[in-house]
Amino acid sequence: MSALSLDPEDWIPHRAPFLFIDRLIDIEPGVRASGEWSLTGEEWFFAGHFPGRPTTPGVLMLEAVAQVGAVAVLSDERFVGRLPLFGGVENARFRRQVVSGDTLTLVCEMSHLSARGGKGHGRATVDGQVCAEADLLFILANTS
């Protein structure tokens, strides 16, 4: 069996400036995926969130976790050619600010997958400290 690509652009359609995964660490198709997002301080949102105290928006951390979850789903051959879209966010918690220089470790584990959608639990951490976590619900759309 050949190794899976760890380039996020090989798995999901997101592109800059809305691709938040710099690199994938691990992919277990249909089960889980992990990756990293390194914040340089040059990101487009820091100038306005917040001037004088640049902080990564929590919703973007959840989007980054969802992107890793999309890799877990789309790497499963049953879902090739589909597009996972947010169906809901439950139990979201934000526990630590993320600032320039931080590297987020992103993990999303699927708890349910079907032909129509699924659910996963994701978290974003910095140096082992949880910054954000949530249960993510998604639907699977056709791309054609």
Nearest CA-CA partner of 93 in 66, 62, 138: 62
**Is 112 annotated in the active site?**
no
Q: Counting beta carbons within 10 angstroms of the beta carbon of residue 36, is it exposed (0 to 12), middle (13 to 18) or buried (19 or more)?
A: middle
H or E element, residue 113: strand 103-113
H or E element, residue 44: none
Planar angle of CA 58, 64, 70, nearest 5 degrees = 140
- From the candidates 14, 49, 112, 121, which is the catalytic residue? 49
Nearest CA-CA partner of 140 in 84, 94, 101: 84
Question: What are the tokens at 91?
Answer: 């139990």
Q: CA-CA distance, 34 to 23, in Å (whole number)?
A: 9
Which residues have a catalytic role annotated?
49
